[in-house]
Amino acid sequence: MKILLTSLTLLCAVNLFSQTDAQLKKDIASIENKVINWRHYFHENPELSNREYETAEKIAEHLKSLGLEVETGVAHTGVIGILRGKETGKVVALRADIDALPVTERNDLPFKSEVVTEFLGTETGVMHACGHDTHTAILMGVAEVLTKNKDLLNGTVKFIFQPAEEGPPPGEKGGAGLMITEGVLKNPDVDAIFGLHINSSTPIGTIRYKPGGTMAAVERFVITVKGKGTHGSAPWTGVDPILISAKIIDGLQTIISREAKLVEEPAVITVGKITAGTRFNIIPESSEMIGTVRTLDPDMREMVIRRMKEMVPAIAKAYGGNAEIVFQNNTAITFNDLELTAEMLPTLQNIAGTDNVELVKATTGGEDFSFFQEEVPGFYFFLGGMTPGNTTPYPHHTPDFMIDDDGMLLGVKSLSQLAIDYLNN
């Protein structure tokens, strides 16, 4: 009799799980059109870092409609929603970034961005050229799905909608670092955090991940070069800061090509902007360069920054001028906690299929999700957003960047199930 009762108990538990699982799947499937519509709205109405006012308002309105505890104005425009399950227990955070980029869109979409603004003194279009519109829409969908299935949650889910992932404007604070300073991981205290990034060159239906170091530490640097202005017809009467800038750019690349041990980890130095001069026949007095450093190893990061600080003034001096370099750290290394990644990998494999979950190498892209991972264990993975058969996907941060709407539902499934499985483990 005891054996029979035990068997019946297990059978009932399995049946209950199957029914619950079926309802969860139904709720996820039914949310797809909403997620797509939200994504189209955010894509058509993008806002730059620390200026995501309408975006935050729409997010907060949705979370409040679900009956969640909602906090707004975190790190300027961030939104937090808290969902408490049927039982007390662990706290898991799910994060989406919400800001757009100063990029003028070239795509021919019915929801194409026509927004124009001024960024650093230059008129520019504004575009979700990195997929943050999809991240926001996905997490809004997850919030609705988990609210409908909160009886499955033995613990609490904290939804974090983060502004300024691309970096706050010069002179301002923002992003994950400011959210942490303002207590986003407290009250209730977060035990683990999950996040995803959609990718334009990964086929829809595919998830990619890497344990440990996944994305690079990112530094922003500004180099100011001082020369001596003169007439362009008589360069020997001045000191040309444009020439010095060219020599500095060339010299910096030798740190990567000749000093960095690239067989261990990759590293990148890129000058993305150079400003100098006003007229074709005037050698200006100064120039400014702005760029980025990407590293995946702490020792290599220290070496690259040290050598840049040594090299920049030395090259300028060699050509009769002077220069200084100032660094600003944008992100740490995005480090997937080894134990958490191993624990949650079966969830992703069950959701997407084992053959569709791929182990990949690290990327030199950067993510300030890394700051959350410095505080609590975190797992960050990549979600396919490329239309099947597309052989020429455009990179992120470009005017032609494109994401297929059909890739988002897997994101909803993944984050929803990760939260459920983590809290119930």
H-run or E-run covering 207 = strand 207-209
Q: Which of 97, 105, 144, 165 is catalytic?
A: 165
The Cα–Cα gap between 337 and 326 comes to 31
What kind and span of H or E run contains 253?
Answer: helix 241-254
Cα 344 from Cα 337, distance rounded (Å): 11
Q: How many CA atoms lie within 13 A of 374 on its CB side?
A: 14
Q: Which residue has the tokens 């897997």?
A: 410
Interior/surface letters 321-352, b for 16+ CB within 10 angstroms, e for the rest:
bbbebeeeebbbbbbbbeebbebbbebbeebb
Q: Give dist(CA 223, CA 205) in Å, integer.
A: 43
Residue 165 catalytic? yes
The Cα 297–Cα 394 span in angstroms is 28
User: Active site residue: 27, 52, 97, 99, which one?
Assistant: 99
Distance CA 202, CA 29 (A): 22
Burial of 306 (0-12, 13-18, 19+ CB in 10 A): exposed
Residues with catalytic roles: 99, 165
